[in-house]
Amino acid sequence: MTDFSPEALSAIGPKEFTQLVKSTPDSKITEVMASEKRTKILDEVFNRMPTLFRADRAGDTATVIHWIITGGPQGASDTYETVIENATCTVTSTPVREPKLAMTMDGLTFLKIVSGTGNPVMLFMTGKIKTKGDVTLATTIPKLFNIPKG
């Protein structure tokens, strides 16, 4: 599968998504994430987050995370809010709560993180991910979700 589009993403599961990100050239992903298709792709990914959430690993975690995805059409950014509390995960594209952690990255970096094909520590160390707030929280995010291994 080489069609990196919102329609393709809605028809595949997490493992296939990982393979799609892994097999699509970075330049193609960057191109798509700078286009009008971006919002549908981001919505698709964020809408899946609650289904991939591991409540059994969350314990008493109570936090708000803002994901700021840069590189949209005309340089636009999109911000999504993930709230983890009471062993649940909710996501919205209209943030209303103060985040404990805000992470800023481009669309390619975001897709690499959520697909498990990018090393979050290396991406942070090389400046591809910028954080504000509780950096320690950023290191615990992967254990809270079923992220396929790239």
Q: Is 70 helix (H, G, I), strand (E, B) or coil?
A: strand
Q: Is residue 46 a contact partner of residue 80, using CB atoms and an 8 Å limit?
A: yes
Please give the Cα distance from 132 to 140 (Å, whole number). Answer: 15
pLDDT at residue 7, as a whole number: 78
pLDDT at residue 150, as a whole number: 56
Closest CA to 70 of 120, 127, 118, 25: 127
Name the token pair of 107.
């669309």
pLDDT at residue 2, as a whole number: 52
Q: Which residue has the tokens 């897709």?
A: 111
Name the token pair of 140.
């615990």
Cα–chain center distance at 92: 13
Cα→Cα distances 30→37, 89, 141, Å: 11, 28, 24
CA-atom Rg of the chain in angstroms? 14
pLDDT in tens, the chain (150 residues): 457 777 777 788 888 888 889 999 999 999 999 999 999 999 999 999 999 999 999 989 999 999 999 999 999 999 999 999 999 999 999 999 999 999 999 999 999 999 989 988 899 999 999 999 998 898 888 889 987 765
Beta-carbon count within 10 A of 31 CB? 14
Please give the Cα distance from 142 to 120 (Å, whole number). Answer: 9
Q: Is residue 117 a contact partner of residue 102, using CB atoms and an 8 Å limit?
A: no
Please give the Cα distance from 47 to 54 (Å, whole number). Answer: 15
pTM value > 0.85: yes
pLDDT at residue 77, as a whole number: 97
